Structure 1
């Protein structure tokens, strides 16, 4: 038997339904206008949120492409300029260390621009997240700045005592060190392809160590070669630790996805590292010989100054690309991308600095590139898996909405 309701109840129910529908429509228009302003969200016909994956996906890949170009061009140019400084008469390790961090003022206009943009966005969105404590940020910047000072000094010794091709191939050990630190600090999972990549890079570095005796074509003694070799390995390990700690800081301290936080993480530690280099320059007494070094520079005083300036600028470009990849993906991925410079720098070193590329070094290069491809393929598989999970989640949402 069908249930009947009095006319008053039916009218009251219809009135409530109309009021609810109007409220939902009004709320949908408000949310839609907010979403259109930010460019991230659209709304379907039933008033439920619907992401714009293609637009967001293209923007993300555009940022990744820019960061990769910054990293590769900056790293390659800075490494070659550093070797050029030594080959043409430069001999100050602290000056070579100084220019690796002293170019941070070129990033200040970007910091001012993105900081103001971030403030406007924060005001519009009124986030509930707490800002990091000033004391925590000061400690963080001091720690990272001192860590970079020691790391850059070891890199300077490595670049001074090693051929640039050997130096570049040894820097690929960052991948193995970073994977280890990421496993303990960033919950990075090891897969067969990642393990294969780490083994190949380790074998590549081992071949270079065995090949040490054949590098005597330079004027570097065996003792200095060993010092350069160990300093480069130590610098690679230290920098890998730095990258993992930076990623951890983004997750635990900053807790906000803004490019200004990336710039802050580059500028403030670079300032501390620059101050540390200035102290080292005066404490070691190398500052006394800088005037003589500039006058005796083979390419002239102007070339001496321009070499140092452009070395500083290219290192900052490289660092922004590296930190951007950490921010967007992970520290391990940024380190893998930096190894993409492996086939570029040694070839340029052979052309411009006449480095010898013997069979052992070629084999080390092939193994390093193989390891890079292995790790990139793992990221490709992860991306496919992520897309499959997103598609299945969207299908479930559509079914529930219907």
Structure 2
């Protein structure tokens, strides 16, 4: 009996190792098969798009905080930076027509009005986020902004009739809990030059900006479903160009009316690091934000919305860690807990989205 039990104990690890080995083999075979189904240029474009998304978006967030930390004051200028790079997308769109041998989507009154409304909402959204980065550490602002996933799920359910399952509902509650943790620990990461009222307002503007971002995402999807009836790479780029163009117009008017555009010369003179550093921060802010938008657009088209969700989840800790390393952002135990909880919420949302989709 003793020898039989010893042999069975030795057999169990062997069976488990065989099972793990089989799972690894199946996973490797699945990856190899997926790789062979697509040409090499597809994977190159996908990798470049992923890199653009996970590097450019955190970089633009860090640059926004660098602007305010070194003497920048204007919220309108940072909002303008977020949309000033729209010609970059337009330069990619025009050659895409020739490559795909397609024509621009005809503009009618309803579609033009929809783009104008989305452009106005995007301009307002960027302004709200500018207030958030003016008063909050970059790591905190990025964690709070992750709540846009909650609002995307809610608005997607009510406006586009997207399915919501238990995993997605769990993600909504978990990410809301993460926001509560950040709010309870507000005294630990407030900058000395930021008052309690400004910190609270930064938090509120961040949440409102996230809610508006979720609404914009749902309305964009509604345009694809109701007005265009299709979703292709060309159509996605067209919408991005038109919405960014309208947002650029609205924001430019705001910058001029507020007097901030005229005050850029004075701001550059008093900026820590000098005039050259000031303009470099703004120029790289324009480039990185637009590269992030292009990367996200390409990932959704080449991969899936689930993959974009995964990368959006990865982007949050990258921004937080980069802010701690580069900007010496405070990282309390509560903030670490909030980061872990947020990541858990993203994982639950991604799982719920993937199980609700039909396999391609």
What is the CA–CA distance in structure 2 between the aligned matches of 1:296 and 1:62, rounded to whole Å?
43
Other structure's SS at 1:220 match: coil
What is the CA–CA distance in structure 2 between the aligned matches of 1:380 and 1:180, rounded to whole Å?
17
CA 53–89 in structure 1, closer or farther in 2 if over 3 Å, else same: closer
Post-superposition shift, 1:325? 4.5
Other structure's SS at 2:330 match: coil
CA 278–103 in structure 1, closer or farther in 2 if over 3 Å, else same: same
Report the TM-score when normalising by structure 1.
Answer: 0.75
CA 230–336 in structure 1, closer or farther in 2 if over 3 Å, else same: farther
Q: Which residue of 1 aligns with 2:264?
A: 290
Q: Which residue of 1 aligns with 2:92?
A: 110
**Runs of 5+ unmatched residues, structure 2:** 1-33
Q: Is the 8 A contact 1:207 1:364 kept in 2?
A: yes
Alignment pair present for 1:161 and 2:135 = yes
CA 325–159 in structure 1, closer or farther in 2 if over 3 Å, else same: same
> CA offsets per residue over residues 168-221 of structure 1, 9 Å max, x none?
100110111111011122322222222222211110011111111223343210
Q: Which residue of 2 aligns with 1:5?
A: none
Post-superposition shift, 1:381? 3.8
What is the CA–CA distance in structure 2 between the aligned matches of 1:337 and 1:252, rounded to whole Å?
28
Post-superposition shift, 1:62? 6.5
Q: Is the 8 A contact 1:247 1:327 kept in 2?
A: no
What is the CA–CA distance in structure 1 between the aligned matches of 2:245 and 2:297, rounded to whole Å?
16
Q: Is the 8 A contact 2:189 2:331 kept in 1?
A: no
Q: How does 1:347-366 map to 2 (within 5 A)?
A: 347-366=321-340
What is the CA–CA distance in structure 1 between the aligned matches of 2:275 and 2:131, rounded to whole Å?
23
Alignment pair present for 1:386 and 2:339 = no
Alignment pair present for 1:314 and 2:288 = yes
What is the CA–CA distance in structure 2 between the aligned matches of 1:121 and 1:270, rounded to whole Å?
22
> CA offsets per residue over residues 46-85 of structure 1, 9 Å max, x none?
xxxxxx9962599877765544332222211100111111
CA 161–240 in structure 1, closer or farther in 2 if over 3 Å, else same: same
Post-superposition shift, 1:138? 1.6
- The number of equivalent residue pairs is 327
What is the CA–CA distance in structure 2 between the aligned matches of 1:381 and 1:59, rounded to whole Å?
29
Q: Which residue of 2 aligns with 1:235?
A: 209
Aligned residue among 60, 70, 83 for 1:88: 70
Aligned residue among 212, 227, 230 for 1:253: 227
What is the CA–CA distance in structure 2 between the aligned matches of 1:331 and 1:344, rounded to whole Å?
20
Q: How does 1:2-401 map to 2 (within 5 A)?
A: 55=37, 65-118=47-100, 120=101, 132-327=106-301, 334-335=308-309, 337-382=311-356, 386=359
What is the CA–CA distance in structure 2 between the aligned matches of 1:92 and 1:131, rounded to whole Å?
37
Q: Is the 8 A contact 2:168 2:353 kept in 1?
A: no
CA 327–245 in structure 1, closer or farther in 2 if over 3 Å, else same: farther
Report the TM-score when normalising by structure 2.
Answer: 0.83
What is the CA–CA distance in structure 2 between the aligned matches of 1:235 and 1:335, rounded to whole Å?
18
Other structure's SS at 1:286 match: coil
Q: Is the 8 A contact 1:78 1:311 kept in 2?
A: yes
What is the CA–CA distance in structure 1 between the aligned matches of 2:208 and 2:355, rounded to whole Å?
32
Q: Is the 8 A contact 2:137 2:329 kept in 1?
A: yes
Q: Which residue of 2 aligns with 1:22?
A: none
**Runs of 5+ unmatched residues, structure 1:** 1-51, 123-129, 388-402
Post-superposition shift, 1:261? 1.6
CA 180–379 in structure 1, closer or farther in 2 if over 3 Å, else same: closer
